Amino acid sequence: MFIDSHCHLNYKGLVEQEREVLARARANGVQGMLNISTRESEWDAVIGLAEREPAVWASVGIHPHEADQHGDMTSAKLVEKARHPDVIGIGETGLDYFYNYSDREQQQACFRQHIVAARESGLPIIVHTRDAEEDTARIMREEMEQGAYSGVIHCFTASADFARIALDLGLYISLSGIVTFKNAKDLQEIAQTIPDDRLLIETDSPFLAPVPHRGRTCEPAFVSDTARFLAELKNIEIESVAAQTTSNFFRLFSKAA
Ligand SMILES: [Zn+2]
Ligand SMILES: [Zn+2]
């Protein structure tokens, strides 16, 4: 049994074939999916799907790309929405200095609101970070000093140093299909150093289809291909990758358990 810890089922490419996507996931052993929101206007749709589907959960959050459009986002608003029984995480949030679609200071302010919401709700944050390791680490550290919170670095592509910082803060690391790419040697090395009890897997679908599906629309069913790759990389059985990442998921996202 696999859990896809991060997917966007309401995005174009997946939303049009929702039934088939969920059926293929289940047929492939994917028994749980965390459907991630990226802007306030999609919260109700993301939560609505979780209400209809038993093993689909929801998150509420604002993607760093969308921070400029949500200048009024507060931790109180996030906490209020997170009271819903199907909302199990806060995010995705974080910093993206690769695209810089939103002002950096606005991204940082929005990120901090999410951490406050995570602390207050007791739910983990789902962190997106790209080309922004230094500021992401600094904010996570500063906020941890204000009071403990839990979370995961999703679609991890950062450095070994950043992985160490996140792990030392008690956070989890989630690997997407990127780890299966031929040119991802550095990431594959880091993957082998992540403690077994801190590792999650995800698709980030509809993006980033793993080998052997590259170029196709990614979907939650493909999380098993990333698990298979990791099993080969770590020289263990795929069943242990499945069991370990599933129990890690429920330990972190304990509201789903
Ligand atoms: Zn992301
Ligand atoms: Zn995402």
From the CA of 155, which ligand is nearest?
1
From the CA of 6, which ligand is nearest?
2
Tell me: the pLDDT tens digits for 88-103?
A: 999 999 999 999 999 9
CA of 87 to the centre of ligand 1 (A): 18
pTM for this model (two decimals): 0.97
Instruction: Extract the tokens encoding 173.
Output: 């690391």
CA of 201 to the centre of ligand 1 (A): 13
CA of 226 to the centre of ligand 1 (A): 17
CA of 8 to the centre of ligand 2 (A): 6
Tell me: the pLDDT tens digits for 60-90?
A: 999 999 999 999 999 999 999 999 999 999 9
What local confidence, expressed as pLDDT, does residue 173 receive?
Answer: 98
CA of 132 to the centre of ligand 1 (A): 13
What local confidence, expressed as pLDDT, does residue 225 receive?
Answer: 97
* Ion ligand 2 contact residues with beta carbon within 5 A: 204
Three-class secondary structure assignment of the chain: CEEEEEECCCCCCCHHHHHHHHHHHHHCCEEEEEECCCCHHHHHHHHHHHHHCCCEEEEECCCHHHHHHHCCCCHHHHHHHCCCCCEEEEEEEEEECCCCCCCHHHHHHHHHHHHHHHHHHCCCEEEEEECCHHHHHHHHHHHHHHCCCCEEECCCCCCHHHHHHHHHCCCEEEECHHHHCCCCHHHHHHHCCCCHHHEEECCCECCCCCCCCCCCCCCHHHHHHHHHHHHHHHCCCHHHHHHHHHHHHHHHCHHHC
Contact 248, 198 (CB under 8 A): yes
For the chain, what is the largest distance between any 2 Cα atoms, rounded to a whole number of angstroms?
48
Contact 14, 219 (CB under 8 A): yes
Contact 157, 174 (CB under 8 A): no
From the CA of 9, which ligand is nearest?
2
When pLDDT is averaged across residues 173-199 and rounded to a whole number, the result is 97
From the CA of 34, which ligand is nearest?
2
Contact 225, 212 (CB under 8 A): yes
CA of 5 to the centre of ligand 1 (A): 12
Looking up tokens 């690997």, which residue turns up?
Answer: 175
From the CA of 65, which ligand is nearest?
1
* Arithmetic mean of pLDDT over the chain: 97
CA of 14 to the centre of ligand 2 (A): 14
